[in-house]
Amino acid sequence: MNTEQSEKAEILIVDDDPTNLGVLFDYLNASGFRTLIAEDGEGALRKADFARPDIILMDVMMPGIDGFETCRRLKENETTKDIPVIFMTALSDTVDKVRGFKTGAVDYITKPFQQEEVLLRIATHLTIQHQKKELAELNALKDKFFSIISHDMKNIFFHLMGSADLLAMKILDFNYDKVEKDAENIHASLQNAYRLMENLLKWSMLQTETTNFDPRNFDLRNIAMNNILFFMQNAKQKDISLSHTIQTDIPVHANPDMVDTILRNLISNAIKFTQSGGEVLVSARFSKDTTDTDEEWNEQVEVAVTDTGVGISKENIRKLFRIDKKYKKTGTSGERGTGLGLILCKELVEKNNGRIWVESEAGKGTKFWFTLPKGISD
């Protein structure tokens, strides 16, 4: 059994036989479990409701309410219904076993039991329980994710339809002075929809592992320059200075398309949340990977996208990069976000064996950092 798994798991033993309790208590403690005991059904119900153990080992024949009735009550309780119950019993008739399963038990251990068998059955059901929790968490994240996407798409197309209707009315009314503004709004909404769809497709490819991960050596400066050229018009429209200080000798070993997507999302956010007259700067430097346990630290490249914009509060920084925590804010010129860009950045950075973090203070600008493995110079 996985030692870490056993040290974290808590087992409730329910048996009216002191000898059985003592033997199991000592054995499970020695195996690294945290162990609780109860001598009857009533005590088991109270301790399970309070402690919420990972597994319950329960004798069937006990004074007061027996194991079958105790298990039935556990399954009726919202707090304890998902705790696996393994019966310990000398009963071997199929009728008794079926009855136990009908009350909600997941397994049987026949007395006199073998300690190795007890440990193996516990390990099996801990693994199943762990997998069920992981699946439930993944499903919850999936539901949250699609809720965010659905909301964002509705907002985008609602804005598009509204702007298109206004544009049509103004053309019919020969109000050409405002046509250009409405056309710009439609164009901005379409750009936002395209960016959302692009991020969504790349994120879904990562989840299904259909994206081709092909890391290679390349010059970071070229990708940074291409992105700055891509966003230069957006920056000029907001009177924002957009530049970089990356030298030609900053080789990285990563997937170029993924790095391009990371920079595109970070630069887009920086422009979005920077006021007129502000600055956005892309920079990079060599550093040491302090997470490496080897005596010789691995060199890596730290890339930063810095802005002089509105900044992010400490409370909201904790919500970044998390699909289960919604953090969305309108840009300084009313730009709408997709809610997916930073989540995608985090996954792409980690795919390239890097990490991403942020330094920010409300009203004083933001700096997003991410690391990439250092490449080999030509």
**DSSP string across 92-148:** --HHHHHHHHHHT--EEEESSPPHHHHHHHHHHHHHHHHHHHHHHHHHHHHHHHHHH
According to the model, what pLDDT value does residue 296 have?
Answer: 46
Rounded to an integer, the average pLDDT of 160-184 is: 65
Q: Residue 135: is its pLDDT beyond 70?
A: yes
H or E segment to which residue 255 belongs: none
Q: d(Cα 310, Cα 358) in Å, to the nearest integer?
A: 14
Q: Given strand 107-110, what is the order of strands in its sheet? A: 34-38, 10-14, 55-59, 85-89, 107-110
| Owning domain of residue 52 | 3-113
Q: How many C-alpha atoms does 297 have within 13 Å on its Cβ side?
A: 9
Query: Is 38 domain-assigned?
Result: yes
Q: Are residues 227 and 348 in the same domain?
A: yes
Whether residue 222 is found in the same domain as residue 367: yes
CATH number, domain with residue 35: 3.40.50.2300
Q: Is residue 137 part of a domain?
A: no
> Does one domain contain both 104 and 253?
no
Report if residue 376 sits inside a domain: yes
Segment 18-31 shows an average pLDDT of 86
Confidence label for 98 from pLDDT (cuts 50, 70 and 90): confident
Tell me: the pLDDT tens digits for 59-78? 888 888 999 999 999 999 99
Of 228, 164, 186, the C-alpha closest to 194 is 186
Query: What is the spatial distance between Cα 299 and Cα 287, in angstroms, rounded to a whole number?
Result: 6
Query: What's the domain count of the chain?
Result: 2
**Domain termination site, one of 62, 85, 113:** 113
Could you give the C-alpha distances from 330 to 79, 138, 340, in angstroms and in order? 40, 28, 14
Domain stop point among 79, 97, 113:
113
Q: Which helix or strand (DSSP H or E) is residue 181 part of?
A: helix 179-207
For residue 307, being part of any structural domain is answered with yes
Q: What is the pTM of this model?
A: 0.54
**pLDDT for the residue numbered 305:** 96
Is position 194 within any domain?
A: no
Mean pLDDT in residue range 213-217: 85
* Structural domain contains residue 156: no
Boundary residue ending a domain (82, 113, 144): 113
Which of the four pLDDT bands, split at 50, 70 and 90, describes residue 207?
A: low
The band of 175, judged by pLDDT with boundaries at 50, 70 and 90, is low
Short-list 372, 351, 352, 349, CA closest to 301: 372
318: amino acid identity, one letter: R
Residues 107 and 228 occupy one common structural domain: no
88: closest CA among 62, 51, 52?
Answer: 62
DSSP for 39-56, written as a single string: SSHHHHHHHHHHH--SEE
**Vertex 118 angle, CA 114 and 120, to 5°:** 115
Domain at 260, CATH number = 3.30.565.10
Q: Given this model, what pLDDT does residue 38 score?
A: 92
Could you tell me if 1 and 30 are in contact, meaning their C-beta atoms sit under 8 angstroms apart? no
pLDDT of residue 225: 92
Residues 377 and 265 in one domain: yes
Asked if residue 302 is part of any domain, the answer here is yes
Q: Are residues 229 and 90 part of one domain?
A: no
| Residue 188 domain-assigned (yes or no) | no
Tell me which range, 170-179, 251-260, 318-327, is most confidently predicted by mean pLDDT: 251-260
